[in-house]
Amino acid sequence: MNKYIGIDLGGTNVRVAKVDEQGNLLQVVKEATEIEQGVEHVMEKIIRMIGSIDHVEECKGIGMGVPGPVDTKAGKMVMSSNLPGFAHYPIVERIQNAFHLPTYVDNDVNVAGMGEAVLGAGKSYDIVYYVTISTGVGGALIINRKVHSGKNGHAGEIGNIIIDRNREKINHLNVGAVECEASGMAITRIGKQVFGEHIQHAGDVFDLARAGDENALKICDDAAYDLAVAFSVIAHVVDPEVFVIGGGVMKGKDVFYDKMISYYRSMIHQGMQSVEFKDALLEEPGIVGAAMLPMAYEE
């Protein structure tokens, strides 16, 4: 059975794993990223970690997931807000020179979507749109087991989709961007405005909704509607077979998910109603999906 190396590079930690083609984690090493010590320090760490994997030379390729948009052809990050100094750094070239294995890099949400499309909830479908609803909102389009990142690496950056231009300006995103109105961060912000500072995260709002609080139920209903608008925009462009949805906000699906799907179906054409919604399945979609990148390019 073929084996691959998957790398999950984040602002806090970096993990390297050997993964087989069925998505089983055979070996995992983890260290602090230490980006404050510079890009070269981090790259030397990653190369050392890859080298510590047993029989790395027998692996068929290396894939890496990173935060932010990626120029997949050049093998470089386009932006690196969480990893200062990594923008336009030749990540792929550096790793390939060290191990002489086919190496690929893509956005972390894209590789998580890849994992779900190849081995998770989307594995029986040709056109998969993966959405993560967490602190922010992100997405990835996977067609025939290949991620489509777009010309500039920004495909799937759905958090900036405008769901209502008559909202307040929150941050660098568009006014009324879905990430600013229906993400975990947004639900927490709105919850604090309504209930006060004792709201620490979206789960607190969900708990109040479960208890029947009318204000909390309205927050959840509004989020469901706003998410439905964003999903309908995606669907009218992509027309996927399935939406696979992950992220921490899904822990509160019992108070918004069914409403979201109902709103969504009222917004799309009758001929599009066959699209399915499925929960993400993989416990480690990021690192598994990263390992699947070289497999996709083999085909």
Phi, psi for residue 273 in degrees, rounded to 5? -70, -15
Q: Which of 27, 74, 80 is nearest to 50 (CA)?
A: 27
Fold of 3-113+284-298: Nucleotidyltransferase; domain 5 (3.30.420)
Report which secondary-structure segment, H or E, holds 289: helix 285-298
Domains 3-113+284-298 and 124-279 share a fold: yes
% the chain with pLDDT above 90 = 87
Per the CB < 8 A criterion, the answer to whether 234 and 140 are in contact is no
pLDDT attached to residue 149: 85
- DSSP, collapsed to helix, strand or coil, labels residue 150 as coil
Place of tokens 């964003």: 230
pLDDT attached to residue 150: 86
Domain ranges in the chain are 3-113+284-298, 124-279
Q: Which of 118, 163, 139 is nearest to 246 (CA)?
A: 139
- DSSP, collapsed to helix, strand or coil, labels residue 122 as coil
Q: In what order do the strands lie in the sheet with 242-246?
A: 146-147, 137-143, 127-133, 242-246, 276-279
Q: Which of 127, 111, 100, 117 is nearest to 238 (CA)?
A: 127
pLDDT attached to residue 53: 96
Q: Which top CATH class is 124-279?
A: alpha beta
- DSSP, collapsed to helix, strand or coil, labels residue 74 as coil
pLDDT attached to residue 246: 95
Per the CB < 8 A criterion, the answer to whether 231 and 159 are in contact is no
- DSSP, collapsed to helix, strand or coil, labels residue 223 as helix
Residue 251 CB: number of other CB atoms within 10 A? 11
pLDDT attached to residue 298: 67
The two structure tokens encoding residue 198: 């004792």
pLDDT attached to residue 263: 98
Per the CB < 8 A criterion, the answer to whether 4 and 63 are in contact is yes
Query: For the chain, what is the mean pLDDT?
Result: 94
The residues of the chain scoring below 70 in pLDDT are 298-299
Residue 143 CB: number of other CB atoms within 10 A? 16
pLDDT attached to residue 166: 96
pLDDT attached to residue 299: 60
Dist. CA 205–CA 215, nearest whole Å: 9
Distances (CA, A) of 54 to 44, 59, 175: 18, 10, 49
**pLDDT per position as a tens digit, 208-263:** 999 999 999 999 999 999 999 999 999 999 999 999 999 999 999 999 999 999 99
pLDDT attached to residue 154: 85
pLDDT attached to residue 152: 83
